[in-house]
Structure 1
Amino acid sequence: MKAFLKFDYNLLTKKILEDKLTSFGYKFSILGFGEIEFYENVPEDKIEELREEFLKYGITIIENQKSVLVQKIKDAIHEMVYGEEILNVKVSVYLAEKLNHSYGYLSNLFSDITFTSIENYVIIQKIEFAKQLILNNKLSLTEIAFRLNYSSVAHLSTQFKNTTGITPSAFQRIISKRRDKNQ
């Protein structure tokens, strides 16, 4: 038997952070996605314990300011792609306004640290979300294209095929066949 799950990455991560930080007994506030403020000094050995505990969940404590900004770029892109609200704005404008830096600076920094462009990262995130939406089987390709802010289904299909090697329609057929086979 298979079960298909839908979950909110942001909510899940926030809950894990709250639970783990509360268990450590320090007063804190989650300022934004990926940013925590402690209201008291936390000894380095406790930070190391937190670091080890968070790593179990794929969460890393970042100390380098450039890496922090790159993580904020990734978080903002996740908000754009996975968020409930459809944002009809260019990624460059959204990131520049949200992070208070020029897009040129953000783009260069992101490329230097991650060895890929913001544009490629956005495409990968959109295609991963498109796969999830196709798996949920509730939206048509037209609706998925709209949801992901593509100008057309053809544009979505082109990027999907360039990224995965198959078209969204072929992906749907494969998923359908697997579901039929497992029933």
Structure 2
Amino acid sequence: MRAFLKFDYNLLTKKILEDKLSDFGYKYTIQGFGEIEFHEKVPEAKLEELRYIFDEYGITIIENQKTVLVQKIKDIIHEMIYAEEVPNVKVSVYLAEKLNHSYGYLSNLFSDVTYTSIENYVILQKIEFAKQLFLNDKLSLTEIAFRLNYSSVAHLSKQFKNTTGITPSAFLRIIASRRERNL
């Protein structure tokens, strides 16, 4: 038997952080997705212990300021894409306003650190979310295109094929055949 799960990455990550930090013994506040403020000085040995604990969950403590800003860009993109209602604003404008930097600066920094563009990262994240929506919510292609703020179903289909190598309908056929085999 196979069970298909739907989960909220942000909620899951926040729960892990809260559980592990409550055991850690230092007062803290989660400032937003991906940022924790400790209310007291944490010794390096304790931070190392926390790094080890978080590493088990794929969570990394970042210290380089450029990498921190790139992570904030990624977090805001995730927040934007996975929101119940995707803000109807260009990613460039949204990022510049949220991070208080010009989009040109953010774009250059992102490319320097990740070796890909913000635009490409957004497309990859949207396609991954579209796959989840196909699998878990059983939404139609039209509903998913609307949910992810695509200008048209054709635009989503083209990006899906360019990213995955298959059309959304071929993806759905593959999933349907796998489900039938596993019944």
Q: Secondary structure at the match of 1:3?
A: coil
- Structure 1 equivalent of residue 75 of structure 2: 75
Q: Normalising by structure 1, what TM-score?
A: 0.98
The Cα shift of 1:180 comes to 1.4
The Cα shift of 1:86 comes to 2.1
Q: Distance in 1 between matches of 2:136 and 2:35?
A: 31
- Structure 2 equivalent of residue 33 of structure 1: 33
The Cα shift of 1:147 comes to 0.6
Moved over 4 A (4+): none
The Cα shift of 1:82 comes to 1.0
Q: How does 1:23-172 map to 2 (within 5 A)?
A: 23-172=23-172
Q: Distance in 2 between matches of 1:28 and 1:150?
A: 39
Q: Distance in 1 between matches of 2:20 and 2:173?
A: 41
Check whether the contact 2:85–2:147 (CA below 8 A) recurs between aligned residues. no
Q: How many residues align?
A: 183
Matched, 1:10 2:10: yes
Q: Distance in 2 between matches of 1:95 and 1:31?
A: 17
- Structure 1 equivalent of residue 177 of structure 2: 177
Q: Distance in 1 between matches of 2:117 and 2:24?
A: 37
User: Unmatched 5+ residue regions in structure 1?
Assistant: none
The Cα shift of 1:137 comes to 4.8
User: Unmatched 5+ residue regions in structure 2?
Assistant: none
Q: Normalising by structure 2, what TM-score?
A: 0.98
Identity of aligned residues (%): 83
Q: What RMSD, in angstroms, separates the aligned Cα atoms of the two structures?
A: 0.7
